[in-house]
Structure 1
Amino acid sequence: MEPFSLICTVLGTVASVVAIVSFTNDHSKKPKEEREFLILHFNSTRSLSLSITEKLENYCKKYNAFNDPMFEGTTFKQYILLLKKSQETNLSKEILGNMLSISPTKPMIDSMVKSLDNQFNELLKIDTWLESKLIIEKYT
């Protein structure tokens, strides 16, 4: 075998190995930082949801408001039940464990984080509304 052919073969083999390793790292490797960010987002959303549920229950007990309308067509009791159902089906520790057990890829993690962001923002609106309601009740 000529030296030129041998060098080309070796370089081609090295380039192929580098390309395979690079592709594997980019597409197969599960991103550690994104995974940790997902866990943080999940736990923050879960914590906020549980906090709101507790505040709503305390408010309803204090003012006997379980059957009062919270929003048009929804009572406080109905909304509390919806939150609890959502916590069981979407925000339980079991769900987090299941999500992580499938070793999600970066695009999957990004999608989950976006969904959690939306949930968190909606919960934050409810929390702000509830806090303002509690302040008003305190001074009336």
Structure 2
Amino acid sequence: MEITGLIVGIIGVIVAIATYNRQFNQPPPVFEEPEPIAEKNNLKVHFQMTKKLSLEVQNLIQKHIDKGNANRMMFEGITFQQYLNMQKAEFDKCFSDELYNNIDLLPYSKQNIESMLNSINGQFGALQQMKYQMELL
């Protein structure tokens, strides 16, 4: 009888340890974050608005150049023509259709999208100021 009690006691301790390990020593479940569709759509809208504004600024600069101001200084050390060339190169690099299409294809997180949106908003603000300056010329 003592051996049976000892065996039952050992089995009880093993079951208790296994139950404790299953309940308390497992990592919490990891839930996959849903795809940030609304955030991606918002980013795409801001991307297109900034792209359109960049083209408007380039057009205003080109009109100023067409009036014979290509070699005049726009800023210290940079002419209107040089600035326009720089703007066009940046436009091709930052606002290509390939980049726009990748917004839907790549698995961006909400944090990535927020960072990209902050960058685009900064560019939009700078372009808005440039547009106002060009309209005043």
The answer on 1:40 being equivalent to 2:53 is no
1:26-65 aligned at under 5 Å gives the runs: 27=33, 29-61=34-66, 63-65=67-69
Give secondary structure in 2 for the equivalent of 1:70.
Answer: strand
> 2:105 & 2:84 partners in 1: Cα distance?
30
The CA deviation at 1:103 is: 2.4
Indicate the RMSD between aligned Cα atoms, in angstroms: 2.1
The answer on 1:89 being equivalent to 2:93 is yes
Q: How many residues align?
A: 113
Runs of at least 4 residues off by over 4 Å = none
- Report the TM-score, using the length of structure 1 for normalisation: 0.74
> 1:64 & 1:100 partners in 2: Cα distance?
43
**Which is greater in Rg?**
2
- Report the TM-score, using the length of structure 2 for normalisation: 0.75
Ranges in structure 1 where 5+ consecutive residues have no aligned partner = 1-18, 134-140
Deviations 1:35-92 (A, max 9, x none): 110000100110000111011101210x211111011111000110111011110111
| Counterpart residue number, 1:115 | 119
Determine what percentage of the aligned residue pairs are the same residue. 29
The CA deviation at 1:118 is: 0.6
Letter in 2 for 1:87: F
